[in-house]
Chains A and B, each alone.
Chain A
Amino acid sequence: MSMKTSTRQVNGVTIVDCSGRITLGEGSVTLKDVVRDLLSKGQKKILLNLGDVNYIDSSGIGELVSAFTTVRNQGGELKLLNLTKKVHDLLQITKLYTVFDVKDDEAGAIKSFS
């Protein structure tokens, strides 16, 4: 199953609901395109909801890092929401869990954006 995304706006924050796999090829390209599109529209408060992402490989991790740094370099914020156990464990072993701002409650995550 490839990756699918849909976006919605809540209190100035763009929530990107992701599902499927973020892997080399289609999945990582989809994520890159979505983030690039949001930034081009000036939407710089981005919450990636990964609750339905059941698989991510090293390319997908790389794309998350790229999205995070790209948004930050443009003065925005990108946070992660609802990690599955598999994604959580991957971010732990790659020491990225503390790099990303990870949330598990959507309302709280929205309030946390400056």
Chain B
Amino acid sequence: MTEQRVSYTLDSTLETVDSAEQAASRIASEAGFDDDEVMRIAMAVREAAVNAVLHGNAYDPGKKVSLAFERIGENLVITIRDQGKGLDPDKIPDPLAPENLLKTSGRGIFLIRSFMDEVQISPSQTGTEIKLIKHVPGPSEGAKEASQ
């Protein structure tokens, strides 16, 4: 598998959220994921971009969102970085807890974790980096799944 990297620097706007989702959809599709997985990956990227634009950079026009897609070995690795105050993943309430079920926000990170194989959140004082990793099924795995 060839190593590839595509990166973008984006403004802190709602358009960035749509652009990130569209780029993720295209790249995941080109990487060979099926339609359902493409949708899940694109949604995970959308949710991470929403967090970066809204909660990280808080729509600050002076702050940027960086987005990178890489093929590393058998993985598609997507990195989204903002320039906000840093998101503490330990302080995110469990959206499945009964007392949180009817809250109107707080499901983004949960959905990201549900849709990706691995999620690494690295907060710092200069922003939050979130790394989304999805294993790319090889031709042999696809054939095995298809024959089952």
Contacts and interface: CB of A to CB of B under 8 A. Distances in A.
Interface string A89-112: 010011110010000000000000
Interface of A: 23-25, 55, 57-59, 61-63, 65-66, 68-69, 86, 90, 93-96, 99
B14 A24 contact: yes
A62 B14 contact: no
A69 B96 contact: no
Interface in B108-137: 108, 110-111, 114
A69 B103 CA distance: 10
Interface of chain A: mostly helix, strand, loop or mixed: helix
Interface of chain B: mostly helix, strand, loop or mixed: helix
B102 A99 contact: yes
A96 B17 contact: no
Nearest to B43: A57
A98 B111 CA distance: 18
